[in-house]
Structure 1
Amino acid sequence: MSDTKFAQQGMSFRESVEHMVDHAIDIMELEEGIGNALKVCQSVVQVSFPIDIEGKIEMFTGWRATHSDHRLPSKGGIRFAMMVDQDEVEALAALMTYKCAIVDVPFGGSKGGLVIDPRKYTAKQLEAITRRFARELINKGYLSPATNVPAPDMGTGPREMGWMVDTYRQMFPNDINYMGALTGKPVEHGGVRGRNEATGRGVQYALRELFRHPEEIKRCGLSGSLSGKRVVVQGLGNVGYHAAHFLQTEDGCLITAIIERDGALINEDGLDVQSVREYITETGGVKGYPHAEYREDGSKVLAFACDILIPAALEGVITTENAPRIQAPLIAEAANGPITFEADKILRERGVEILPDAYCNAGGVVVSYFEWIRNLNHVRFGRLDKRFHEARGQHIIQAIEESTGHKVPDHLADELARGADEFDLVRSGLDDTMRLALQEIIRTRNENPKVNDYRMAAYVIAIEKVARHYRDIGV
């Protein structure tokens, strides 16, 4: 979202992130020098290049910012969108630094973007644009498996990452680690199974862990498990779809409203997320979907009564204008910066609990880390030990049957004798990471009397980890 729109609502996205950091620094009483170092984006490059589109030369402009390289490589997505600008890219790069620290992923923070509406170009044209953007970043040292590793973001996906990694391979044919130059690639070309669903799956795991802490759920005025909880999802893109789909099919949540660009769907008995997704893919929107009430002004449905609100689209959708009307007692920020700084204050004063974006949507970078490790190791997860564990499971089954004289039921035998594949291991690693990170956030909130919400707890954790590194290396 551009600064122009933010100016109508208050401070910009970048200013919001900086104010959160300032508040955390004050709480921690961090020394001024390190505090200032944490707030500065270390480097940013702007590139502009021409591309021949059907005989007409078009100019494209993009950025790549590195907020911190205290850990290498620096990590962060590349978005293709018309609202991209340098301020947004720098803010998102800073957020990536904190996000990686919160979930203990050993990366610095980076982010990139290109001003483009990808829907206006053919696949062939988009490939030419993407490859040229990649070359510009590579030539300026902002794309490499050792120093700066992009991933998909808004407007990009595995296809674009595949084009970019192939461009890197062509420029550095002797780099055997070239696959690690980008993450979020197609599985057939060095990607890892589970990356596409990772951010949405991470939101699910975050909520699951929160609901394992009854005292924390009590803060929201909720109780029990996720089963039966009413959920409103704003944005049914990759992140929103996977979060909603898994919460519905695996945890028994009722997705009572889905908000999209052209309006919103409401069904108090629960929407079929898969069906809605297929309808959007077919028609381009939600209008006309037959199994729900349609509301043209989708923004008003953010204030729809529910237990959990999941904003999973753009920055700044909850502002001072609609924050007083939000009825959800719990918000899980699946998007980056969906709540403005001023709106966040209003919601906290009203007692609304918020799982912050810097934690809640970190699933993507967690699984990107797994993919990067896989690429550098040149072996898929599970290849070395899957059959070993299957054989051990068979021995356990045999021992049980011989000692009891009874046959182990087939459904239990199948599970005991199944070795974990790459998908299983990626999901297990993501689940463990999201659990441990939230446990640390909860502990920090409960033990530090100056910390009154999950967002500030997450920032305190992140800043302390980065500051500790700066102190250790003498910066």
Structure 2
Amino acid sequence: MPNDIPPPPPVSFQQSVARMVDRALDYVKLEPGADRAIKTCNAILQVTFPLKIRGEVRTFTGWRAVHSTHRLPAKGGLRFSPSIDQDSTEALAALMTYKCAIVDIPFGGSKGGLCIDPEQYSRDEMELITRRFARELARRGFLSPATNVPAPDVGTGQREMAWILDTYKNLYPEDINYVGCVTGKPVELGGMPGRLDATGRGIHYALREFFRHPDAVAEAGLSGDLKDKRIIIQGLGNVGYHAAKLLQEEDGARIIAIIERDGALVHEAGLNVEEVHQYMQRTGGVQGFPGVEWVEPGTMALERDCDILIPAALEGVIHTGNAERIRAPLIIEAANGPITFEADEILRARGTVILPDIYANAGGVVVSYFEWIRNLSHMRFGRLERRLDEMRGQHIVSALELMSGEQSPDWLRASLLRGADELDLVRSGLDDAMRVAFQEIERMRQTHDRAMDYRTAAYAVAISRISGASLDLGAY
């Protein structure tokens, strides 16, 4: 009987990524066997180490995967989560390879994780665990400014990167580029201004670029610009918070729902993102936020009517169980892998436009690249030319006033006399990277008469670049 046939087993995260790559391979001509070489993870390190904590010996397990070394160093975040495993580590490393290729950053792809719940440990305990993990990675060649450079991810931040940096420096004091062994560091330790909000800002820039293309906007069944667009944010962590805040404050979008672990806030007139964020800082969740509708479980709010849905938490939140009920005409993936392969198939068949993770959330690695370059050059951006730019601006103002016989308006004078600082340059570079990458994806779609969805086109762009680099190197 057909009803007696068991359903197929769920596709793993790694298999989901591989199937998305396979879809793009139909459009890209490769050497025989090159597809397998591109999809296969180059190396995976598993480490298990004991530490004495609270009077007992506890054992911790972590991974660092290197998907591709067609360019070095391999780059990717370091995640501290009880749900991390080898499969997800390899899948995330693959996404990093494709992500770097799409935004044309000269890195290979890597990812790492430690199976731990950071909330269960004190600050001093987390420092002890992080430093030991860093030593395990460094001694095996999986931590170095030349070969493998971690960055913050879920459960980690500037604090953890500072501990890793200091651990590497003590192990290899002769490495004059030791500061570049991690990115996402505190600014005082060689970090880059603008790195903290880079991924969320990249989401903002990606949406702005999308709305500069009227045909793309019409394809999603939308019109106009971002003003008053009704947006649902899933996850108000670092990425979701900055994306939502920028969209609200700079473009006038309405954040009608915010989904968190303890439920969802819904308010059709628009939630104040900063107020919700401050409330979460005080209480640890969104439950009890006054004056708005409360929805539990929060994932139900994914299915509400809106213009743009931004999943900005963990992978697999949109799956076969809810994909049919997702009503957003446009989804932009701020998290890695928030839509499973099967759900992606369902949404594509329904005409939902999806801006994929390997493009949309690349802002973090773009600014990490700037930070790494800054660390290796040992000089902050703009140091040589800022005052020269200000002097040239003064000459322009003087020339205008001399020719017109009138004094320049204050706003014009201030604009021309101000030289770009490091943060200005970082944001300019990030904006350019997100714009150019979207245009490359659009060109790939145009080449195939727009028959490709954005995810397939993005993978096709990435595969073409990786394959070309590998061929030039004689890798196959």
TM bracket, shorter-chain basis: over 0.9
Where does 1:408-419 land on structure 2 (aligned, <5 Å)?
408-419=408-419
Where does 1:257-336 land on structure 2 (aligned, <5 Å)?
257-336=257-336
| C-alpha separation in 1, matches of 2:260 and 2:406 | 55
| C-alpha separation in 1, matches of 2:429 and 2:451 | 29
Shift of 1:450: 8.0
| C-alpha separation in 2, matches of 1:10 and 1:320 | 10
State yes or no: 1:347 paired with 2:347.
Answer: yes
Superposed CA offset, 1:333-374 (max 9, x none) = 000000010100111111100000000000000000000000
Superposed CA offset, 1:97-151 (max 9, x none) = 0000000000000000000000111111100000000000000000000000000
Where does 1:99-178 land on structure 2 (aligned, <5 Å)?
99-178=99-178
Tell me the residue number matched to 2:12.
12
Equivalent position SS for 1:93: helix
Unaligned runs of 5+ in 1: 1-6
Tell me the residue number matched to 2:181.
181
Unaligned runs of 5+ in 2: 1-6
State yes or no: 1:424 paired with 2:424.
Answer: yes
Equivalent position SS for 1:32: coil
Tell me the residue number matched to 2:3.
none
Equivalent position SS for 1:324: helix
Tell me the residue number matched to 2:193.
193
Shift of 1:31: 2.5
Letter in 2 for 1:301: A
* Conserved 8 A contact 1:50-1:59: yes
Tell me the residue number matched to 1:239.
239
* Conserved 8 A contact 1:220-1:353: yes
Shift of 1:403: 1.0
Letter in 2 for 1:369: Y
Question: Which shifted more, 26-35 or 150-159?
Answer: 26-35
Shift of 1:384: 1.0
Shift of 1:199: 0.3
* Conserved 8 A contact 1:34-1:470: no
Tell me the residue number matched to 2:206.
206
Tell me the residue number matched to 1:86.
86
Where does 1:432-443 land on structure 2 (aligned, <5 Å)?
432-443=432-443
Tell me the residue number matched to 2:33.
33
Equivalent position SS for 2:112: strand
Letter in 1 for 2:165: V
* Conserved 8 A contact 2:28-2:463: no
Shift of 1:451: 4.4
| C-alpha separation in 2, matches of 1:432 and 1:242 | 19
CA 1:369–1:211: 2 relative to 1, 3 Å = same
* Conserved 8 A contact 1:98-1:463: yes
Letter in 2 for 1:156: T
Tell me the residue number matched to 1:3.
none
Letter in 2 for 1:23: R
State yes or no: 1:360 paired with 2:360.
Answer: yes
Equivalent position SS for 1:17: helix
Greater than 4 Å deviation, 4+ residue runs: none
Shift of 1:29: 3.6
* Conserved 8 A contact 1:27-1:450: no
Tell me the residue number matched to 1:4.
none
Superposed CA offset, 1:377-417 (max 9, x none) = 00111111111111111111111111111211112211111
Where does 1:362-377 land on structure 2 (aligned, <5 Å)?
362-377=362-377
TM-score w.r.t. structure 2 length? 0.97
State yes or no: 1:387 paired with 2:390.
Answer: no
TM-score w.r.t. structure 1 length? 0.97
Letter in 1 for 2:356: P
Question: Which shifted more, 61-70 or 286-295?
Answer: 286-295
| C-alpha separation in 1, matches of 2:236 and 2:124 | 26
CA 1:9–1:310: 2 relative to 1, 3 Å = farther
| C-alpha separation in 2, matches of 1:471 and 1:382 | 36
Letter in 2 for 1:410: D
| C-alpha separation in 1, matches of 2:27 and 2:386 | 47
CA 1:8–1:136: 2 relative to 1, 3 Å = farther
Tell me the residue number matched to 1:255.
255
Shift of 1:30: 2.2
Superposed CA offset, 1:210-237 (max 9, x none) = 0000011000110111111110000000
| C-alpha separation in 2, matches of 1:470 and 1:445 | 24
State yes or no: 1:447 paired with 2:454.
Answer: no
| C-alpha separation in 2, matches of 1:10 and 1:345 | 14
| C-alpha separation in 1, matches of 2:447 and 2:341 | 24
* Conserved 8 A contact 1:145-1:181: yes
State yes or no: 1:468 paired with 2:468.
Answer: yes
Shift of 1:26: 2.5
| C-alpha separation in 2, matches of 1:432 and 1:450 | 23
CA RMSD of aligned residues (A): 1.2
